[in-house]
Amino acid sequence: MTRILFVCMGNICRSPIVESVARLEFARAGIDAEIASAGTENYHVGQRADERAIAIAEAHGYPLAAHRARQLQRADFERYDHVLVMDRVNLRAAQRVRPAQGGVAAELFLGHAGLGADDVPDPYYGTHADFEHVVELARDGVAAMIRCLAPPAGMGDRR
């Protein structure tokens, strides 16, 4: 099983959207994965995702209403195989949380997915279109990850 943690600042917009997209698309692809998200800051711990994020994600078929924000912890770097961050600002913040010894390194989500090292822009102060753009980037990034993680055709369980 692959364990992936997506990280943004408050864990109410970008990372929960990407988490929801990844959870559903990985399941559709038959990839056994534990998917979660967190924020580098504690602004919204315990709160639901932003209502606009919920509306956009669910309009695209990605359940998000049950999400509750949480903060990135040092232990996450030991628990997860990949800690994927939405932008460079939060990459630096995540690197400060990472234990000095051990654990995986944080990486930029779109860079890890092979789509370049561009940031996923924060839609919080933006428009409906900005939230839609996050869903598009999430779909593209997750699809690239699935191509890398899916077993080659014909290499599945042969019982």
Residues marked as catalytic: 8, 14, 122
104: CB partners within 8 A, 6+ apart: 77, 80, 81, 82, 83
Largest CA distance in the chain: 52
Which region holds residue 119: left if phi is over 0, alpha if psi is between -120 and 50, else beta?
A: beta
